[in-house]
Amino acid sequence: MTMFVALAVLLGAAKLAGEIMQKLDQPSVLGEIMAGILLGPTVLGHFKPGLYAFIFPATGNLPIVLETVTTLGVVFFLLTAGLEIDLRSIYRQGRSALLVSFLGVIIPFALGFSAAEWSPQFLGAETGANTRIFALFVGTALSISALPVIAKILMDLNLLRSEMGTVVMSSAMFDDLVGWILFSMILGMMHGGDSSFSQVKRTIVLVIGFVVLSLTVVRWLIDKILPRIQAHTSWPGGVLGFIFTLTLASAAFAEFAGIHAVFGAFIVGIAVGESTHLRKRTSELIHGIVTNVFAPFFFASIGLRTNFVANFSLPITVTVIVVACVGKLVGAGLGARLGGMDRRTSWGVGLAMNARGAMEMILGLIALQAGLIQEKMFVALVVMALFTSLISAPAMHFLIRSRREITLKETITTKLFLPELKAHTKLEALEQMCAAAANTVNNAPERFLRLILEREAIVPSGWENGLAVPHARVNGLPHPIVVVARVNNGIDFDARDGRVARLIVMILTGDNQSQHDLLRNAGELFSRKEAIEQTLNAQSFVELVAALNAPVS
């Protein structure tokens, strides 16, 4: 029973906090970690120790149960991280990406390594740990980026497909790959006890061998096997079974080789993701399973590990943040500038690459468990990761001033939802809808109607499957207006499939960009018949929002 209580509380709190962060346009991982901190020894354990001990008893099987679930969570999370890496895109990006990745790794690594070499005790090296290895770890930890968080920020700012976006993504992929290879070597050296030269050599050979083999022979084999699996097994069971089994097997092998299980999963993810035969829907499905069910357990559990107040050390945290930010901003920014980007874009690249998030914390946790760093340093790393992830989006927004795409969902209002429009002709319907729209902005309905009809005369607004989307640009309109109306009888809007419209979505905007966004959103959304039906069946405004909040792909 305790198992179900603990898991329900963890998952529920993590998802809730994650959704709240998403509403605030922040990556959901941050909410999941904060939920863990709230439920862990820091807050709940401090203020309500009795309740905390009831939910997460330290005795019995629960610690092992949690360890199992969170380990699977992080292993599968690294699988999806690997799936997102596209080696070819790194080659393609050329000089800028190369410079950004290279300097974005070298400079933070050098700064972190020097700082740790200079004063390992101050930075919270575990007593007895090899200081050279500790310094290597700090350097690596500060040079790694966090692909998922960066992708989310770029996507929200509508920059993912821009030149800057592709350079940042390729460089972050490269940094992740290099960072994890370095980190695996460090772990291998640690397990070897003292870092004698032969031991170091063995680890390097092992890690490089593992990576090279996985990305050549294994990758080629996967590319040959995938189409056969997709041809001869049921979808998606066969291919999911194959990928998850491969991930578990590779994790086992990585552990056997003395590097960490997550590295095995990460490399498998890259190898599978490189296959051109992997269906987009398969990777979306894996992504959906992992980020929604497995990963939240892991991220919430980070907060359970330690007391983030008792183990908080201001000097260490400030030092880590300063070194991390200076290193990445200067390194990646300089790389972008040398690669020929202008000053503002270069700063943007630096800021984007500076977001850490998940990867940093996974590294920190493994180092903590391996006895390499003290809890103080672990807390500093987590805080640094949270801090850099949180400031990246607002800072880039301020710097680049790009805009988010507008969607129907956020534009509709209760007043402009007309669930039962009484109209028999197109003109009657448009008149009533324009009247409702004009009413909200104190404007003349005749003007709206004239503009709508002008547009209608050029291209009829009837789409397929009983939908009509009349629209117009209205100069001086302060914000976009969307009117959603339903007509029981159906009205002819001259649709290509000849069917009458039962759902009318009128879009009025003051500028071209918003109109483009809203029409595109409508096009994507209503390309699925299901979305039209759900909108037609919505009983209330909440259900209308739910129908428009559907996935667009």
Q: Which is nearer to a second copy, 140 or 291 (CB)?
A: 291
3-state secondary structure at position 381: helix
Would residue 49 be called left, alpha or beta, if left means φ above 0 and alpha means ψ between -120 and 50 degrees? alpha
The one-letter code for the residue type at 248 is L
What are the structure tokens assigned to 301, written together?
């559990």
CA distance 191 to 174: 26
Q: Which is nearer to a second copy, 354 or 535 (CB)?
A: 535
**C-alpha distances in Å from residue 372, one per residue of 129, 132, 186, 209, 518:** 6, 11, 10, 25, 52
Q: Which is nearer to a second copy, 60 or 340 (CB)?
A: 60
For the CB of residue 538, give the shortest distance to a second copy in the complex, in Å. 8
For the CB of residue 8, give the shortest distance to a second copy in the complex, in Å. 3
For the CB of residue 533, give the shortest distance to a second copy in the complex, in Å. 11
Instruction: Determine contact, residues 155/169, Cβ cutoff 8 Å.
Output: no
Alpha helices in 375-461 (DSSP H): 375-400, 408-411, 426-441, 445-458
Q: Which is nearer to a second copy, 206 or 338 (CB)?
A: 206
For the CB of residue 111, give the shortest distance to a second copy in the complex, in Å. 35
What are the structure tokens assigned to 202, written together?
């063995």
Q: Which is nearer to a second copy, 78 or 332 (CB)?
A: 78
What does the buried/exposed string (b/e) look like for 122-138 if buried means 16 or more CB atoms within 10 Å of the residue's CB?
ebbbbeebbeebbbbbb
3-state secondary structure at position 503: strand
What are the structure tokens assigned to 65, written together?
């149960």
Q: Which is nearer to a second copy, 90 or 149 (CB)?
A: 149
The one-letter code for the residue type at 66 is L
Q: Which is nearer to a second copy, 2 or 307 (CB)?
A: 2
Q: Which is nearer to a second copy, 65 or 500 (CB)?
A: 65
Q: CA torsion, points 11, 16, 18, 20, in degrees to nearest 10?
A: 180
Q: Which is nearer to a second copy, 87 or 289 (CB)?
A: 289
CA distance 72 to 80: 12
For the CB of residue 226, give the shortest distance to a second copy in the complex, in Å. 8
Instruction: Determine contact, residues 41/307, Cβ cutoff 8 Å.
Output: yes
CA distance 323 to 354: 11
Per DSSP, the residues of 280-304 read HHHHHHHHHHIIIIIHHHHHHHHHH
CA distance 293 to 287: 10
Within 10 A of 99 (CB to CB), how many other CB atoms are there?
A: 22
For the CB of residue 175, give the shortest distance to a second copy in the complex, in Å. 27
For the CB of residue 17, give the shortest distance to a second copy in the complex, in Å. 11
3-state secondary structure at position 16: helix
For the CB of residue 539, give the shortest distance to a second copy in the complex, in Å. 9
For the CB of residue 233, give the shortest distance to a second copy in the complex, in Å. 5
Binding footprint of a second copy on the chain (CB under 8 A): 1, 3-5, 7-8, 11-12, 14-16, 18-19, 22-23, 28, 61, 64-65, 67-69, 71-72, 75, 227-228, 230-238, 240-242, 244-245, 248-249, 251-252, 255-256, 261, 277, 279-281, 285, 288-289, 291-293, 296, 530, 534, 540, 542-543, 545-546, 549-551
Query: For 215, which DSSP code?
Result: I
For the CB of residue 344, give the shortest distance to a second copy in the complex, in Å. 31
Q: Which is nearer to a second copy, 195 or 527 (CB)?
A: 527
